Each structure stands twice: as structure tokens, then as C-alpha cells.
Structure 1
Amino acid sequence: MPITIRDVREHELDSVVAVNNAAGPSILPMDLAKARFFWEHAEYFRVVEQDGLVSGFLVALGPNAPHDSPNFLWFRERYPDFLYIDRIVIARPRRGGGRGRAFYADIQSFAEVRRPLLACEVFLQTGNDPALLFHGQFGFREVGQNVMGGSGIRASMLLKEMCSYPFVAETYGGKLPDAAWLKARALPGRQASLATGT
């Protein structure tokens, strides 16, 4: 059956938490409060659906989000404008089917008209080389490393320049055309800007 990538719906936050917490040790645990934080603040919060079930998700935040992740803060201290991928999770039975690649193609399309940089990290632990290679294939490069306080987990901090962004910013001056595929996610409680999602 085909897959669909679409914005998450509020009633699916429990499913997002379940997929996240069944993913294994390479993904930090998440509770419903964290999922709700993402619901309220993430510029990009999409799920992959197949056969009526959520089988993965990707969450990304802009630089002004009130996020306390040490890796997010690492990027914010160094770069004024970016879209930060906090996490991508694919349910174990659905891995290897191209969902991660589909998400990264989708978020790149989303980001390149809004932000100059796409940021993320990969934990540097044994067996995580496939994740580093995956990001390398998408054009990410390491710009530093960060050791997360408390956990001692070391992360490779990765950036990708959005090549289309300068043209879009110069041509449209912060206001994208009114087209369905360019609309930003409407954040609960406030109107999302088409240009920046803030």
C-alpha cells in the first residue's frame, strides 16, 4: 500500500509517543507532554501513514522555538537562522522501505523556501555509522561535536545549506506565493507566517 506524508493531527500524539518509545536506544524517550510541546511549537511535524496507521514521524523547529534540547541550543548559539530536525523515527517493522528518504526529501522541500540551513545531529555510538552515511548522502556535513550534559552522549552536529533559499528570499522578500504546497503548518494558538513559520 502507498504511504502518505502529512501534518500530524492532534489526536495522533499518543501514536507518535508509542512509535518513538518503541524505536530503541538510538532515540531519546518522549512522553505526551513533549509530543504536545512539539505540536504547539514545531514548524514541521509530519507523520508517515500507511494502511491508516502512523508508522513514523519527523519533527523540526525554527531557531526561536522555546526548546531546551542541548543540541538545539548548540546550533542556536552558533547560527542565527536554521530549521532543526529534533527527531525522525520510523517504526521498526517499517524500516528499510524508503520512509526516511521520503521524509528527508519532504523536509528539504519545506526548509529550502524558509530557512538557509537544515540542522540535525547523529549520536556517535557504536553501530550508528549507517545514520552518518545516510545524512552524508543527503549533503549534510559535520560542523562540530557536542557532548550532552548529564548523559555524556556525544553527537555529530550536522548542517546542510539550502541552496534555493537565497533565490527565494531575494525574489519573494519573506512572503511566499499563496499556494497550497507552500503553506506553513498553522501552529495552535497563533497564526504561522507563510515565510518563516514563526
Structure 2
Amino acid sequence: MTQVLIRDARPDDFVSIVALNEVEVQQTSAMDESRLQLLSSMACYLKVAVVDDTVAAFLLAFRDHAAYENANYEWFAARFPTFVYVDRIVVSSAFFGLKIGSLLYQDLFAFAQTQGISAITCEYNIQPPNPASKAFHDKFGFKQLGSQWVANGTKEVSLQAAEI
């Protein structure tokens, strides 16, 4: 059985994180190493999943009151006194089927619970559609609270929250 290790991301993981993000940039947004360093400094949660010494996935999230400027984050900040916002989760296609996304979300939910946070928030594309993300988030009890157009009107996102 393949062993998956979830651990805090380290600076030497950043090249791998940026490469994973680039493959899924249509679903996430562009991020180079300097941007990742900045986001990492504001994040409450930046973990990687490692399989056989390879970074197979990562999850980046922010707490309420972070200095993060993002239309989706700000939408949630206007509605929740405390929350964790999942900025992005990416799993390498080479590791699909190992339930790595679920392991990262289980770890994130446990983290949020220890912090007394009552909601995990996120968004995913509905235009263009991302049915895999919808199915994944439905499993964790996420519900749509609204939607908005972002990226200069090129993407419509479903604004989601799951109670803890």
C-alpha cells in the first residue's frame, strides 16, 4: 500500500508546489515562487502530501483577518466572523486514486476544529465547469452560498462553505 505523508510545506517544496499549480492554473490562478512566498507568509495552513519523497499535492488556506486581497476571500470575510478559506488544493494526476485530496481536507478540518473555527470556505469554477471539484466538495458537506464572476469576467465561481 502506498504511504502518503501529510506535513507542513517547507521552502524547498516551493518549486514542486509552483509546478503542480501551473498544471492546474485554469482552475486555480497563476503563482510563481515569489508569490508563493508571500502567500505562505499570510497562510494559516500550507501543507503538502508526499509520496515516495515526491510532493504529490498541496493545500493553501487562510484564516479570517488575513491580509489577503482576493475577491472570493473578501466575499467570505464579509459574511463569517471566523473561517478558514481554501485558496487552492492541487493533486498531481500521477497520484489520482490515492484519496490524497480527502486526506488533506480531513487534516484541514481537524486543524480548523482545534482552532475553534466553525466554517471552511472555498470556491470552485462553475463557468467553465469543474464537476470533479463539485463532487469532491459535496462529499465534505460544502453548500453553495452564492456565486460571482471573477478573473475579469472569464470565470464564474460557486462560493461554498462547510460547517465544522
TM-score when normalising by structure 1 = 0.77
Partner in structure 2 of residue 130 of structure 1? 132
Partner in structure 2 of residue 170 of structure 1? none
Partner in structure 2 of residue 64 of structure 1? 65
For residues 77 and 127 of structure 1, the distance between their equivalents in structure 2, rounded to whole angstroms, comes to: 26
For residues 94 and 125 of structure 1, the distance between their equivalents in structure 2, rounded to whole angstroms, comes to: 26
Which 4+ stretches in 1 moved above 6 angstroms? none
Partner in structure 2 of residue 75 of structure 1? 76
Partner in structure 2 of residue 51 of structure 1? 52
**Aligned residues: CA RMSD:** 1.4
Larger CA Rg, structure 1 vs 2: 1
In structure 2, the residue corresponding to 1:101 is in which secondary structure?
helix
More strand by share: 2
Question: Does the 8 Å CA contact 2:128/2:156 hold for their aligned counterparts?
Answer: no
* 1:2-59 Cα deviation digits (max 9, x unpaired): 1100000112111110111023522222111221022211111000001111111001
- For structure 1, the residue ranges without an aligned partner over 5 or more in a row are 163-198
For residues 29 and 21 of structure 2, the distance between their equivalents in structure 1, rounded to whole angstroms, comes to: 8
Aligned residues: 162
Counting only pairs closer than 5 Å after superposition, residues 118-197 of structure 1 correspond to structure 2 as: 118-148=120-150, 150-162=152-164
Partner in structure 2 of residue 189 of structure 1? none
Alignment-mate amino acid for residue 43 of structure 2: A
- For structure 2, the residue ranges without an aligned partner over 5 or more in a row are none
Partner in structure 1 of residue 3 of structure 2? 2
How far the C-alpha of 1:126 sits from its partner, in A, is: 4.4
State, as a whole percentage, how many aligned pairs show the same letter: 30
Q: Which has the higher mean CA deviation after the structures are superposed, 102-111 or 147-156?
A: 147-156
For residues 62 and 129 of structure 2, the distance between their equivalents in structure 1, rounded to whole angstroms, comes to: 27
Partner in structure 1 of residue 13 of structure 2? 12
For residues 86 and 151 of structure 1, the distance between their equivalents in structure 2, rounded to whole angstroms, comes to: 19
